[in-house]
Structure 1
Amino acid sequence: MTSRRARTLSVVTLALVLTLVAFVLVRAGGDHGTDAAQPVSAPATSTPAASPVPTDLTIIVPGRPGESAATRPAHEIRDAGPAPHNSLDVMFVRMMIPHHAQALEMAELAPGRAADPDIRALAERIRASQGPEMGMMRGWLQTRGLSPEAQGHDHGTMRGMQSPEAMRQLAAARGADFDRLFVRMMTEHHQGAIEMATELLKVGSDLTLSEFANSVATEQTVEIDRMREVLGH
């Protein structure tokens, strides 16, 4: 009887041991499987992911002088290159160079002929501004391989240009007579330049020339008003 109990106890003990061993093996296998299943983390990178470009983005495009701004799709602005010059830009420069040259010729007469010091000051201002502007226009043509000459065009027919006879009269005048004649002729000359510049703003395509034309129209309008004030005082 005692021997039977001992055998039974031994069997139960063995069963418990086997069960414990099986549990340990299963737990160990489960933990290893879990570690193997975890993905390996990718190395960190400092480059951010590219963000998609919005397809509905619009850009405000400034207008030319006197015009309002407009909105355009961003892809059109990105694809558009700089606008090239056109034939009207070239014609404007070729005409404005001799136009400026005559204004300088009139202004150079003032120091030895004008009675009013304000007239002499205005003439000096014209020389100081239009001389460098002629250099800029010649450079604009040169960088584009263009000749400064307008073939088949009579410069004397340009708006505001004074006739050779009028230029002789101005050169012969002195004192107050010179002042009055200078103001009249230079006012007509400036008005012609303003018309030419204003027209280019409507038809030209070169941005540099558009800015220059706007400057010509603005500055010469101021000078016309100043000359009239000087003559009226």
Structure 2
Amino acid sequence: MTARRGRLLAVVTAVAAAVLVAAVVVDDGDDRPAGPTAAPVAATTTPATGGPVVIVPGRPGEAAVTRPAGEARADAPPRHNTLDTWYVRMMIPHHEQALEMAQLAAGRAADPRISALADRIRASQAPEIGVLRAWLTERGLSAEVAGHDHRAMRGMQSPEAMSRLAAARGVEFDRMFVRMMTDHHRGAVQMSVDLLGVGADQRLQEFANSVATEQNVEIDRMRDLLPA
């Protein structure tokens, strides 16, 4: 009987010790009772510097380690980079010119398919401008680029070409519209494809992929609409 009690006492003692070890994740000198559970990643302070540290779980079979919180934040990829910002700032005026051309179709286009295409461009690119402006606003960034000539961007049409388009009517307008908008779309596609290789923001990656895909489709449609 005494031997059984001894073994039972030993088991109870071992279990209590295991529970005590599991409950103590980091001893930071806080005398408050530990909570019922411990998070897999916890922040505390180092005794030496008093700075915040993060407990980083190890890979399977490895022990957790503590690292300064600043280092842990540095490991995370940036939410966006300067090339993301440049793309947004350039794509806004690029889209705005596409809307300007599309708005000219009303009362000038002879082919109803040209008018329908212009309506689709307005319906898609106007909301996209809103998305791009919101992206900048969320990050406290301005849409302006001091000293930059937007006319130098790929696909942008010159003021003279825009004036000729506005003065055209009928078949002449249709021909000019298709050619100018095709060139404009190709510029947007190239800008978007370029971003896919260098951007860091996931939302912009999806946006740029959508622009490249949709405008390539519209380029194919316009090829069939080009008057002889």
TM-score, with structure 2 as normaliser: 0.71
1:201 equivalenced with 2:207 (yes/no): no
Distance 1:38 1:143, change over 3 A: same
Where does 1:64-143 land on structure 2 (aligned, <5 Å)? 80-143=75-138
SS at 1:208 equivalent: helix
- Aligned residue in 2 for 1:159: 154
Q: Provide runs of 4+ in structure 1 moved above 4 Å.
A: 40-43
Supply the distance in 1 between the matched residues of 2:93 and 2:111 (Cα, whole angstroms). 27
Cα 1:39–1:206 shift into 2, 3 Å? same
Instruction: Choose from 164, 168, 173 the match for 1:173.
Output: 168
> What is the alpha-carbon distance in structure 1 between the residues aligned to residue 217 and residue 129 of structure 2?
20
Q: Which has the higher contact order (CA 8 A, sep 6+)?
A: 1
Shift of 1:83: 2.7
| Pair 1:36 & 2:10 matched | no
Distance 1:112 1:232, change over 3 A: closer
Q: Say if 2:114 is the partner of 1:145.
A: no
| Whole-Å separation in 2 of the counterparts to 1:198 and 1:55 | 42
How many residues get paired? 180
Shift of 1:37: 3.4
- Distance (whole Å) between structure 1 residues aligned to residue 5 and residue 138 of structure 2: 71
The CA RMSD over aligned residues, in Å, is: 2.9
Structure 2 stretches lacking a partner, 5+ long: 20-36, 41-57, 63-73
Call closer, same or farther: CA 1:115–1:143 in 2, change over 3 Å: same
CA–CA distance in 2 between the matches of 1:109 and 1:55? Answer: 67
Q: Does 1:54 align with 2:49?
A: no
* C-alpha separation in 2, matches of 1:171 and 1:82: 47
Report the Cα offset of residue 232 of structure 1: 5.6
SS of 1:112's equivalent in the other structure is coil
Query: What secondary structure is seen at the aligned counterpart in 2 of 1:187?
Result: helix
Which amino acid is the alignment partner of residue 130 of structure 2?
G
Write out aligned runs for 1:9-48 (5 A).
32-40=1-9, 42=12
Considering fraction of residues, name the structure with more helix: 1
Give the residue type in structure 2 aligned to 1:93.
V
**TM-score, normalised to structure 1's length?**
0.69
Task: Report sequence identity in percent.
Answer: 62
